[in-house]
Amino acid sequence: MATADDRDPLVAAPGRPARLSWLGLVGLGLMVALLAAALVQARQFSLLRQALKSGSEYSVLTIYQAETEYLRLREQWHRAADERVPLDLPELRLRYEIWVSRVDTLHAERPRRLIRDQVGHRQTLEQVDAFIVTADRALGRQPELPVTREFLIPLGPALDALGVPMHDMSLGAGRHVAQEMTERAQTVRTQNLLGLGLTMFLSVLTLAFAAIALRQVRQLRGRRLVLEDLAANLREARHGAEAASAAKSAFLANMSHEIRTPFHGLMGMLSLLRETGLTPRQVDYLRTATESADHLLALLNDILDMSQLESGRMTLAPAPLEIRSLLRDVEALMRPQANAKSLALHIDADPAVPERIMADATRLKQILFNLLSNAIKFSDHGAVVLDVRGMAGADGRPQLEFVATDTGIGMDEATLERLFNRFMQGDNSRSRRYGGTGLGLEISRNLARLMGGDITVRSKPGEGSRFTLHLPAQPLDDAQAGPLAAPRDGAALAHRLHVLVAEDHPVNRQYIAALLEDMGHEAFFTANGQEAVEAASARRFDVVLMDLHMPVLDGVGATRAIRALPDPALSTVPIVALTADAFDEARERCLLAGMNDFLTKPVSPDKLSTTLRRLFGAEVDVAPASVPPASPMALPALSAAAALLDEAAIAMSLQAMPAHRLGTMIATFLDQAPETVERLRSAVRDAQPLELRINAHAAKGAALNLGLAGLAATAQALQEGAAHLPAHEIARLVQLYEEQVPRTREAARRYGLLGPAVAAD
C-alpha cells in the first residue's frame, strides 16, 4: 500500500489547502522560460522579415546605377554637341535609353519610398522626369524631331543641372541605409543577449527538473507494486466479466430459440387469418401486424447470430454449391424490394466464376441479402448491381469477389469509420428515416471473416456506395461436387431426387406423384404444413414442393418454420411453391418467406422439369418414358367439351403419363365431387367463408392439374367471392359446380379419357 510520502504532491490531503510541489513550480518556470524564448525568436524573425521587406540595399544600388548612367549620358551628350567631333547618334541613343530605363526603376515601390523619405529628393526625380519628356521629342521611341546639334546644344545646361541633385540623392540614400543597418545590428545584438540569458535560465531549470524527476521515479517504484496488485485484481475481474459475457451470449442464444418457436406459431396464425373474410381496414391492420412480426423475427435472427458469434458457437456447414443457382435465389428475393422502389436490379456472374464451389450457402446468402437490402434501402433512384468475379488472391489462391454497387445517398469518411461498429448507422437522422438496428453489417463482416474472407467498402456522399465481399473459392470438379454433378447413364438418372410434397388434396397428390415417378424421382407426401415441417426436421430432402393453402399450417408458415430450423443442412433445403394463385402478391409472399421458386397450377411436366433443372442443373433431365403416351390430337375432340376441358393442360399431362392413368385420376376426382359439394354447402350454411375458400381453392388446384377447366373456373369464382358475395350467389355457384360434374364426366368420356370401365354415372 502507498504511504503518506508516496502521495501525489499535487493533490492536497483532506483538511489541508492545496499547494504546488517543487516539480510543479519548476515545470511552471520552464513553461514561462520557453514562452519567453519563443517571443525572442519571434521578434528576431520579425526583424529579419522587415529587413527583407524594406529592400533598402537594393534601392540604393538602383539609385547609384541611375547616377552612373547619367554621367555616361552627359559625357556622350557633350561630345555629340561638339562640332569638332563627328556626331555618333547610335551611341547617344543607346546611352539615353539605358539612362531612361534606370530612371524608370526609381519609380518602383521600394526606391520611391526611400526617395520620398529624404527631404528635397522628390523634386530631383520630378526634375529628371521633366528633362526626359523634353528629350523624348527627338530621342524617344516615337520622335517628333530629328536629332541635331541645334536640338542638343540648348538642352545641355538642363542636363548639367541634374548632376548635383542626383549625386546628393545617392549620398542621402546611402546614409539612410547605413543608419538602418546600424539600428538593426543593435537590435539583433540585444535579442542575442536575451536569448543567451534565457538559454542559461532554461539550463538551470532543466537540471532542477531532472533532480526532482529522479525523486519522483523513486516514489513511482513504490506505486508500481500497488499497481501490480491492482492489475492482478483487474485480471480476475476481467475473467469474471468474460465468463458473464459468455453466459449472457448463451442465454441470448437459448432465449432466441425459445422465443422463435411460439413466434412462428403467431406468424402462422396471421397467415391463416389472411385467408378469412376481412374488411379493407382489417386487411390493413393485418398487413401492419405481419410487417411488424417480420421485423421482430429479423431482430431475433440478428441477436441469435451475434450471440453465436460472440460465444464462438457459430459454425459453418460447407457443401457443394452452385454459384449461379444461388444468385438466382438471391435475385428472386431481392427483386420485389427493388421493384417496390422502381430500382433496376442487375445480378451477373463473370465467365471466370466456377460453376461449383465448397461453401455454406445459407451464410453466403445471408451476407448477400444484407448487402443488397441495404443498397435498395438507401437508394431512391437508379440501379443496384451485384457483380461476381473470379480472380487470384494475394496468395495466388482462387478467390471470388462479390461487388454490390448502388446509386444511393453514399457516405462520408466519418460514417465509413464507424460503419461496421455494432448498433451504428450513418447518423441519427438516417436511422430514423431508414430504420434498422446496425447489426447487419457487423454480422456480415464477421461471417465473411469466419469464411476466410472480408468485406470492404468505398463510398462518397451523393455518389452511392460499393461493398466488396472477398471469399476464398476452391472450384469443384465433377468428382468433388457429389450428387449434384454425378454423370448420367443413358436414360437413367444419375441423381434420384427425394422430394417432399406438401399437398392436402388427394387427387393432386396422385398427379404430382405421377409426374415425379415418370421423371425417376421419389416422392414423400404430407397433408398439411405442420406435417411438412416435422418431415423436413426429421430427415434431409433434396427439394420440397409446398402447396400454399393447407389446413393446420399454410405453406408460407411452414416455409418460415423450416428456414428457422437450427440445423443448416435441413433449413437450407430448396422449397418450391405450388399454388393456383398466379398473382404477383402471392409470388412475393412466397419469395419473402424464403421459398426458392414458384410453380402455378396446373403443374405441367415441362414446368416441373424446368424448375428442377434450375435448382439442380441439367443432371436431373430425364428421357421420355419407354411407353409413349397417347397423343391428345389422336383422341376425338368434341366442341361441346371445349368449355369443360382444357386440351392444352390434358396434352401436357399426357406427356408424363398414359391416358388410362390420367383417366383414373379424373374419375377419382369426379367420384369425390359429391363430398366436395357437401363441404361447400356446409360452409355456406354455417357462414364460414374461410372453410369455403379453403375447399374451393383445393378443388380449383386439382381441377387445373387434370385439365377440368369448367370446374376450375367455378371453384375459382367460389374462392374469390367467399368473403363478399351474397349467400344466394354463393349457393348458385355451388349448384353450378354440382351440375358441371356429370357434364365434365361425359366430356372426358367423349374425349377418350374415361372408358366404360372407369366412367361412372
For residue 269 the three cell numbers come to: 396464425
Q: Rounded to whole angstroms, how far apart are CA atoms 211 and 452?
A: 56
Region class of 434: left (phi > 0), else alpha (psi between -120 and 50), else beta: alpha
The pLDDT score that the predictor gives to residue 12 is 45
Length of the chain, in residues: 761
Given a cut of 50, whether residue 145 has pLDDT beyond it is yes
The answer to whether 545 and 337 have CB atoms below 8 angstroms apart is: no
pLDDT at 113 over 80: no
Among 277-291, 318-332, 549-563, top mean pLDDT goes to 549-563
Task: Report the Cα–Cα distance between both ends of the chain, in Å, rounded.
Answer: 106
Give the Cα separation of 154 and 675 in Å (integer).
142
| CA 533 to chain centroid | 35
The predicted model gives 132-160 an average pLDDT of 85
> Is a pLDDT exceeding 90 seen at residue 11?
no
Q: Would you say residue 106 has pLDDT above 70?
A: yes
> What value does the mean pLDDT take over residues 409-431?
66
Q: Look at residue 618 in the predicted model and tell me its pLDDT.
A: 55
Q: What is the pLDDT of residues 206-254, one digit of tens each?
A: 777 777 777 778 888 888 888 888 888 888 888 887 777 667 666 665 6
pLDDT tier at 344, thresholds 50, 70, 90: confident
Q: What is the pLDDT of residue 85?
A: 81
For the purposes of burial, counting CB atoms within 10 Å of the CB of 516, is it exposed (0-12), middle (13-18) or buried (19 or more)? buried
Per-residue pLDDT of 44-81, as tens digits, reads 667 666 655 555 667 778 888 888 888 888 888 888 88
What percentage of residues in the chain have a pLDDT greater than 90?
A: 8
Q: Which residues pair with 739 in a beta bridge?
A: none
Helical (H) or strand (E) element with 577: strand 575-579
Better pLDDT: 623 or 370? 370
Strand order in 543-547's β-sheet? 522-526, 498-502, 543-547, 575-579, 597-600
CATH number of 319-465: 3.30.565.10
Given a cut of 60, is residue 264 above it in pLDDT?
no
Place 412 in a pLDDT band, splitting at 50, 70 and 90: confident
Per-residue pLDDT band at 276 (split at 50, 70, 90): low
User: CB under 8 Å to 4, separation ≥6 — which residues?
Assistant: none
More confident: 271 or 103: 103
- Percentage above 70 pLDDT, the chain: 76
pLDDT tier at 178 (50, 70, 90 boundaries)?
A: confident
Give the per-residue pLDDT at 192.
74
3-state secondary structure of 400: strand
3-state SS record for 259-327? HHHHHHHHHHHHHHHHCCCCCHHHHHHHHHHHHHHHHHHHHHHHHHHHHHHHHCCCCCCCEEEEHHHHH
The C-alpha cell of 79 is what? 561630345
Q: What is the mean pLDDT of residues 23-47?
A: 72
Asked if 527 and 227 touch (Cβ cutoff 8 Å), the reply is: no
Domains 319-465 and 486-623 share a fold: no
Question: Is the pLDDT higher at 488 or at 256?
Answer: 256
Q: How far apart are CA 745 and CA 674, in angstroms?
A: 13
> What average pLDDT does range 397-420 have in this prediction?
86
3-state secondary structure of 379: coil
Q: Sign of dihedral through CA atoms 708, 711, 713, 719?
A: negative
Residue 158 has what DSSP assignment?
A: H
pLDDT class of 761 with cuts at 50, 70, 90: very low
Return the domain boundaries, the chain.
Answer: 56-161, 319-465, 486-623, 639-751
Pairing of strands 383-392, 356-359: unpaired
Provide the angle, in degrees to the nearest 10, between the axes of the packed helices 529-538 and 555-563. 20
Q: Which residue has the cell 517571443?
A: 39
Residue 293 above 70 pLDDT? yes
Give pLDDT, residue 641. 44
Query: What tens digit of pLDDT does each residue of 500-531 get?
Result: 999 888 888 888 888 888 888 899 999 899 99
Q: How confident is the model at residue 492 (pLDDT cuts 50, 70, 90)?
A: very low
Angle between the 727-751 and 709-721 helix axes, to the nearest 10 degrees?
170
Mean residue pLDDT across the chain: 77
Question: pLDDT at residue 190 above 90?
Answer: no
H or E, element range at 358: strand 356-359
- Write down the pTM of the prediction: 0.37
Lowest mean per-residue pLDDT among 388-402, 564-578, 639-653: 639-653
Q: Which of 343-357, 423-437, 682-696 has the lowest mean pLDDT?
A: 423-437
Find the angle CA(718)-CA(720)-CA(725) to the nearest 5 degrees. 75
Instruction: Give the cell for residue 705.
Output: 392439374
Strand ranges inside 94-235, DSSP E: none
Distance (Å, rounded) from C-alpha 544 to C-alpha 503?
11
625 falls in which pLDDT band (50, 70, 90)? very low
User: Which residue in the block uniquely carries the three cell numbers 526626359?
Assistant: 132
Bond prior to 154 in cis (omega within 30° of 0): no
CATH, domain 639-751, list 3.30.565.10, 1.25.40.20, 1.20.120.160, 1.10.3720.10: 1.20.120.160
Contact between residue 219 and residue 6 where contact means Cβ atoms under 8 Å apart = yes
710-734 confidence digits (pLDDT tens): 898 888 888 877 766 766 678 888 8
C-alpha cell at 30: 520552464
Q: What is the mean pLDDT of residues 326-348?
A: 83
| C-alpha closest to that of 298 among 377, 385, 387 | 377
Q: Which of 13-22, 105-114, 234-243 has the lowest mean pLDDT?
A: 13-22
**Gyration radius of the chain's alpha carbons:** 49
Count Cβ atoms below 10 Å from residue 200 Cβ, excluding itself.
Answer: 11
- The rounded Cα 348 to chain-centroid distance in angstroms is 17
**573-621 tens-digit pLDDT:** 899 998 776 565 677 778 778 888 888 777 777 778 878 877 776 555 5
pLDDT in tens, 629-667: 433 333 343 334 446 888 877 877 787 778 888 888 898
> How many helices (H) and strands (E) are present in the chain, helices listed first?
25, 12
CB 106 within 8 A of CB 129: no
Residue 126, pLDDT score: 82
- Residue 370 predicted with pLDDT over 90: no
Integer Cα distance of 556 and 290 in angstroms? 12
| Residue 703 to residue 668: CA distance in whole angstroms | 11
Contacts of 695 (CB under 8 A, 6+ apart): 676, 679, 680, 683
18 vs 683: CA distance, rounded Å: 91
Q: Report the amino acid identity of residue 690.
A: L
How far is Cα 171 from Cα 115, in angstroms, rounded to an integer? Answer: 11
Mean pLDDT of 8-34: 59
**pLDDT (average), residues 430-436:** 49
Q: Which residues contact 707 (CB under 8 A, 6 or more apart)?
A: 602, 645, 646, 647, 648, 649, 650, 653
pLDDT bin (cut points 50, 70, 90) of residue 469 is very high
The yes-or-no verdict on residue 758 having pLDDT over 60 is: no
Superfamily of domain 486-623: Response regulator (3.40.50.2300)
Binned at pLDDT 50, 70 and 90, residue 3 comes out as very low
3-state secondary structure of 375: helix
Instruction: Pick left, alpha or beta for residue 707 (phi over 0 → left; psi -120 to 50 → alpha; otherwise beta).
Output: left
Q: Which amino acid is present at 11?
A: V
pLDDT score recorded for residue 321: 84
Angstrom distance (rounded) from CA 4 to CA 119: 77
Burial of 489 by CB count in 10 Å (0-12 exposed, 13-18 middle, 19+ buried)? exposed
Question: Confidence band (pLDDT; 50, 70, 90) for 541?
Answer: very high
User: pLDDT value at position 581?
Assistant: 67
Q: What is the dihedral of CA 581, 587, 588, 594, to 10 degrees?
A: 120
